[in-house]
Amino acid sequence: MIINTKLEELDIKEVLRYMSSSASNGSENVTDNFLKLINDTIKQSLQYIKSLFVYKKFSIKVIDDETISIDNTSVCLKGKDIVNHLRNCDYIYLIAITLGNELDRQIKIKTYIEPEVSVILDSCGSVAVESIADMIEKDIEENAKKEGYNITWRYSPGYGDLPLQAGKDIIDLLDATKKIGLTTTRSFMMTPCKSVTAIIGLSKTEKDKRENKCDYCNNRENCAFRKKGTRC
Amino acid sequence: MLNLKDKMIVLDGAMGTMLQKSGVEIGKVPESLNITNPDVVIDIHKQYVNAGSDIIYANTFSANRYKLSHCEYSVEDLVVAGVKNAKKAVQGTDCKVALSIGPVGEMLEPNGTLTFEEAYDIFKEMIVCGAEAGADLIVFETSTDLLEIKAGILAAKENSDLPIFCTMTFEPNGRTFTGVTIKSAAITLTALGVDAIGINCSLGPDEILPFAKEMSEYTDLPIIVKANAGLPDLNSDEYNITADQFVETLKKYVDFGVSIFGGCCGTTPEYIAKISKYIKNQKVVKRTSNKKSFLCSASKCVEVNRVRVVGERINPTGKKLFKEALINKNIGYILTQALEQEQAGADILDVNVGLPEINEEEMMVEVIKELQGVTSLPLQIDSSNPNVIEKALRIYNGKAIVNSVNGEEAVLNRILPIVKKYGASVVGLTMNEKGIPNTAQERFEIAKTITQKALSYGIAREDIYIDCLTLTASVQQKEVVETLKAIEMVKERLGVKTTLGVSNISFGLPNRSLINTNFLNLAMSKGLDLPIINPNLKAMMDTIDAFNVLYNIDKGSVEYISKHNETKVEKTVVNNNDMTLEYAVINGLKDYARTKTKELLSSGMDAMDIVNNILIKALDIVGNDFETGKIFLPQLIQSATASQGAFDEIKIHLSKDKDSKAISKGKIIMATVKGDVHDIGKNIVKVILENYGYDIIDLGKDVPIEKVVNTAKETNAKLVGLSALMTTTVVNMEETIKALRKEVDCKIFVGGAVLTEDYALKIGADYYAKDAKQSVDIAKIVFE
């Protein structure tokens, strides 16, 4: 499925959260001028942000403790963590989302003339891409329920021991370069930068008990968000 | 061999759709079938030949080095087999075979890490193999990046004699995914001298219709349309238009002169048979020729049909800070100059980076690459060195203007062929080996020589701009009017456009602005098209606004009113007397910080005292507030920017003193490591460090290891900062540190999302910085 909708708004609290320091306890000194700057920049960001995404269902098989094959393709997902995550799943949804090039370009432009705006735009991008992912997750969950399935939480390449290369595989399987203009570099970083690839599993067993993605995150001991008691 | 002028041409339909229908297992690289299942491929080709195709596309779309990196077959294997299969299918017919070339699959700099030269090599490899195997023409299709397709066109022209077709893919908003507009694509591709251009894929014939119409208005070349069979169904991926419906839309295309038709995704031999049946009975509709003057970047087109402002600020002549920036490779300074001019209303930016101390070729290429990543304005390449001009034009993403040639025979013969090859416009100065003639008549004669020579090299009249040269009124007062007369003669008698550097007129006179604006007005009234000025000077821009009203160009004074009737935005009211520089910095008030600094400097306070006792102290307070969670990151940055205002004033103050060295607390090199394109963290650190008074040499992102090492050697910087975001690129950070350790004596600090203090030290760094504030602490330790 490929849809191109327009985001209408962004949650200002979320936008601020990405820009707070690791010692933040949510009681920063927000002046009126600063609040206006944030609100204006959010409005501006919505002009640059495209919401381009594609997602599709595949059936899977667990081959061994480190390999899951995606049926009717030549692609395997490799790693112990992803196998644990999807062990009870019959299907997965592969998801690719990008906000497009223009936001990247504006973030770069503002670095030179209004660096504070650049940082806020960057934060807006993170919030936007997450909120699109949430929307897709909700849609997948509703469809899954109709068929008697529960969903796992969203898993992205780079979590646990699932290599970043899997991001390129997802893009190729979804034909996302052609459909939404999403590519990777040779070191598997996505371009445009504000993009997400993810996997959601469908299983008949009850919903995954683990609280959140941090349980699998390699960066969990070092994460600035966790130190603040929140998540990225 | 191809009659493109008077003949309707039918291309083929989809290959992928047909391969799927054939039931063969396609795998990761569909081109492998050229070797594993040639019969299937040949059969599909034959079906299209029988359906009436005049040209079929060989199954070579993705057979490039990048996409085949994990494939058992080489580029040569698959391209040669692909072309041979197609040749077999057309045997005994007049049908021609095109080598099909799709996008590389990775984004070009500055969005990605693929360089222009790498893209060129990737295309060259396919082209050499394809031409060798007997392809009749080369087709670049489904392209979304104008610079990438330009690399392909140059590779094709420099390595074969085959005709070239180019089709790009546009989204419903009329732009490609990378932001290329239809106008820019049409203008740039036409200027590069290909044989036909057009649109393929993504949309159906109904949606492409207005886009093809627009394209036809910006080119004289034959137009290609290869639409999908409508739009895909969201769930089944099936397309929604039948062959009959497809053909029904074609009449509208034929009416405005489209002459080359085929089908893309979802189309089959049935579609091509029906297209062929209809098209072969139609005549090519002649289009009216399009003689307009255009310049463009990939995303913006400027038609020179009224006065357009060329911004002159990217030029080191007489500018100490700009010279310093060039010597220190401070690209950020140059980009800021560009963006400020864009904001001020420039239409085109002149780019001159010539300085004896630096390598102009390298600097020009780097500046152009970076500039086209941030500004959408077309660029004017300002150099007299043919190598610099050629290097710049090669990587320029759009249609540029070259500044300049003059009436010297040797100069014309050296530079005009380059201008023609890369499809640029050109500025001709009315001077020659004897210098600048005094009379208008003599300057006109030189302009005539230049124009005739340019025409003889195939450069269109509408791409020629003559500069009749401004002389200084205080020295050659009598000749001022000759310049004005010459503009009029050139415009009227040669039918070319004119350009002029304006501000030299007032050199040596008081109240220069008065002279400049009046001279500008006189020149515009004689027909000046491209004044080269400083767009940041409001008086000059206002003069042009008024001229446009008085000459009935700004109809109904719409632009004038909207610009000059603005209610002034109220600024935060702060009692100037109560405010200290410290207050201005802490509250992020850049303008007040400037004013306050000026006051302090003129009251005789020592520059270093201001830096150490006010600016740094204020920044420390803000830094501490951020560290303890009292403010957000953008607030920290606002304060840093305010202090930058103060630093700028101090720099200007010091640069007036010829003997003084620029103020610097130390040189720091910063780079986001090889393979990594996420540089926002590095940029934040840079802004903060700069505003603590450090000189930052910012090497950008995806920086090769050698470049970091060489810069460290050349500049003797004591501190190097490296950033990396991903586990895949931290490896390159370690390699960069190793290389630095071997050759340079410097301290290294590192940062990035996946790094920890332990890990940073393990890979050999001296310091780990968790945020921008900590980078400052590290710099203080290193430079104290």
Q: Which of A29-43, B439-453, B643-657 has the highest mean pLDDT?
A: B439-453
Whether B566 maps to a domain, the answer reads no
Cβ within 8 Å, pair B632-A16: yes
Chain A residues in contact with B751 by the CB 8 A cut-off are none
Mean pLDDT of B314-342: 91
Q: Do B144 and A221 touch (CB under 8 A)?
A: no
In the predicted model, is pLDDT for residue B679 greater than 90? Answer: no
Q: Note down the domain range covering B526.
A: 294-299+306-552
A chain contacts of residue B732, beta-carbon cutoff 8 Å: 187
Q: Chain A contacts of B641, Cβ < 8 Å? A: 114-116
Q: For B615, what's the count of Cα atoms within 13 Å in the CB-facing half-sphere? A: 31
Assign residue B421 the CATH number of its domain.
3.20.20.20
> What distance in Å separates residue A104's CA from the closest CA in chain B?
8
B716 or B420, higher pLDDT: B420
**Per the structure block, which two tokens stand in for B297?**
């970047």
CATH code, domain carrying B773: 3.40.50.280
Per the CB < 8 Å rule, is A28 touching B632?
A: yes
pLDDT of residue B749: 96
> Which chain A positions have a beta carbon within 8 Å of B102's beta carbon?
none
Is the model's pLDDT at B427 over the cut of 50? yes
* Same domain, yes or no: B188 and B256: yes
Q: Measure in Å the smallest separation between the Cα of B508 and chain A Cα atoms.
A: 33
Mean pLDDT computed over B595-606: 90
Q: Does any domain span residue B572?
A: no
Sort out which chain B residues have CB atoms less than 8 A from A109's CB and list them: 339, 374-375
- Max mean pLDDT among A170-179, B419-428, B603-612, B675-684 falls in B419-428
Mutation to test the A interface, candidates B630, B680, B702, most A Cβ within 10 Å: B680
Q: Write the pLDDT tens digit of every residue in B1-22.
A: 677 888 999 999 999 999 999 9
A67-94 mean pLDDT = 93
Q: Identify the residue with better confidence: B402 or A158.
A: B402
pLDDT in tens, B499-516: 999 999 999 999 999 999
Of A28, A111, A183, the CB nearest to B107: A183
Please check whether residue B561 lies inside any domain of the structure.
no
- B348-366 pLDDT, tens digit per residue, is 999 999 999 899 999 999 9
C-alpha dihedral (B113, B115, B116, B119), degrees to nearest 10:
-90
Query: Residue A218 pLDDT more than 80?
Result: no
Where are the extended beta strands (E) located within chain A? 2-5, 51-64, 67-70, 76-78, 89-98, 150-151, 183-184, 190-191, 195-203
Q: Please give the pLDDT value at position B652.
A: 80
pLDDT average, residue stretch B414-419: 98
Q: Which of B655, B684, B706 is the last residue of a domain?
A: B655
Distance from CA of B111 to the nearest CA of A (A): 7
pLDDT at B575 over 60: no
Q: What digits encode the pLDDT tens for the residues B520-539?
A: 999 999 999 999 999 999 99
Tell me chain A's radius of gyration from C-alpha atoms: 18
How far separated are the first and last CA of chain A, in Å rounded? 27
Which residues on A lie below 8 Å from B300 (Cβ)? none
CATH of the domain at B53: 3.20.20.330
Nearest CA in chain B to A3: B234
Domain end position, chosen among B655, B683, B699: B655
Sequence-distant (6+) residues with CB within 8 A of B370 are B110, B331, B334, B335, B700
Q: Which percentage of chain A shows pLDDT scores above 90? A: 67
Q: Distance (Å) from the C-alpha of residue A33 to the closest C-alpha of chain B?
A: 9
Residue B491 sits in the same domain as residue B346: yes
Note whether B623 and B742 are same-domain residues. Answer: no
B310 plus B275 within the same structural domain:
no
Closest residue of chain B to A100, computed from CA coordinates: B177
The minimum CA-CA distance between B595 and chain A, rounded to whole Å, is 19
Alpha-carbon gap, residue B55 to B39, rounded angstroms: 19
Which fold does the domain A2-227 belong to in CATH? Answer: NADH Oxidase (3.40.109)
Chain A residues lying within 8 Å of B637, measured CB to CB: 115-116, 119
> For residue B285, is it within any domain?
no
* Domain ranges within chain A, ordered by starting residue: 2-227
Percent of chain B with pLDDT over 90: 76
Same domain, residue pair B102 and B190: yes
User: B114 contacts in A (CB within 8 Å)?
Assistant: 185
Chain A, window 41-70: residues with a beta carbon less than 8 angstroms from a chain B beta carbon: none
Determine, for residues B572 and A16 on separate chains, whether the beta-carbon distance falls below 8 Å.
no
CA distance A76 to A105: 34
Cα B36 from Cα B19, distance rounded (Å): 13
Size of interface A-B (CB pairs under 8 A): 161
Decide if pLDDT at B577 tops 70: no
* Pair B137, B204 in one domain: yes
Give domain status of residue B575, yes or no.
no
Contacts of A158 in chain B (CB under 8 A): 726-727
- Asked if residue B258 and residue B119 are part of one domain, the reply reads yes
Average pLDDT over residues B167-179: 95
Instruction: Judge if B217 and B75 occupy the same domain.
Output: yes
For CA atoms A111, A117, A123, A125, the dihedral sign is negative
* Same domain? B246 vs B165: yes
What is the Cα–Cα distance from B736 to B723, expressed in whole angstroms? Answer: 11
Task: Search chain A and give the residue with CA nearest B639.
Answer: A116
For B95-123, write each residue's pLDDT tens digit. Answer: 999 999 999 999 998 888 899 999 999 99
pLDDT on residue A216? 64
Q: Which of A21, A24, A115 sits opposite B687 (nearest CB)?
A: A115
Nearest Cβ partner of A189 from B114, B332, B676? Answer: B676
Both B642 and B769 in one domain: the answer is no
Measured from the Cβ of residue B572, the count of other Cβ atoms closer than 10 Å reads 10
Same-domain check for residues B272 and B182: yes
Q: Tell me how long chain A is.
A: 232
Decide if B111 and A108 are in contact by the 8 Å CB cutoff. no
For residue A37, the distance in angstroms to the closest alpha carbon of chain B comes to 10
* Mean pLDDT, residues A115-132 taken together: 95
Task: Decide if B179 and A105 are in contact by the 8 Å CB cutoff.
Answer: yes
Beta bridge partners of B667: B695
What does pLDDT average to over chain B? 93
**Domains identified in chain B, total number:** 4
Residues 180-199, chain A: which have Cβ within 8 Å of B? 180-181, 183-189, 191-193
- Please report the residues numbered 153 through 172 in chain A whose beta carbons come closer than 8 angstroms to any beta carbon of chain B: 158, 164, 172
* Residue B369 confidence (pLDDT) above 70: yes
- Across the range A166-173, mean pLDDT stands at 94
> pLDDT-based confidence at A224, cuts 50/70/90?
low
Lowest pLDDT segment from B89-93, B574-578, B593-597, B770-774: B574-578
Would you call the peptide bond into B404 cis, given omega within 30 degrees of 0 as the criterion?
Answer: yes
**What's residue B51's pLDDT?**
97
Inspect the interface and report whether the beta carbons of A188 and B179 lie closer than 8 Å: no
Which residues are CB-neighbours of B609 under 8 A, at least 6 positions away? none
Question: What pLDDT is recorded for position B570?
Answer: 45
Chain A segment 114-133 residues within 8 A of B by beta carbon are 114-120, 122
pLDDT band at B718 (very low <50, low <70, confident <90, very high): very high
In which element (H, E) is residue B776 found? helix B772-783
Is B563 domain-assigned?
no
Pick the residue with more confidence: A224 or B40?
Answer: B40
Tell whether the model's pLDDT for residue B32 goes beyond 60. Answer: yes
Find out whether A128 and A121 touch, Cβ atoms under 8 Å.
no
When pLDDT is averaged across residues B436-453 and rounded to a whole number, the result is 97
Q: Do B256 and B315 belong to one domain?
A: no
pLDDT of residue A222 exceeding 90, the answer is no
Q: A184: which chain B residues are within 8 Å (Cβ-Cβ)?
A: 106
Q: Give the per-residue pLDDT at B484.
A: 97
Say if B17 falls within a structural domain.
yes
Contact B629 A115 (CB under 8 A): no
B287 assigned to some structural domain: no
Q: Diameter of chain B by CA atoms?
A: 92
Q: Mean pLDDT over residues B309-319, rounded?
A: 95
What are B232-258's pLDDT values in tens digits? 876 677 898 999 999 999 999 999 999
The answer to whether the CB atoms of A189 and B677 lie below 8 A apart is yes
Nearest CA in chain B to A112: B336
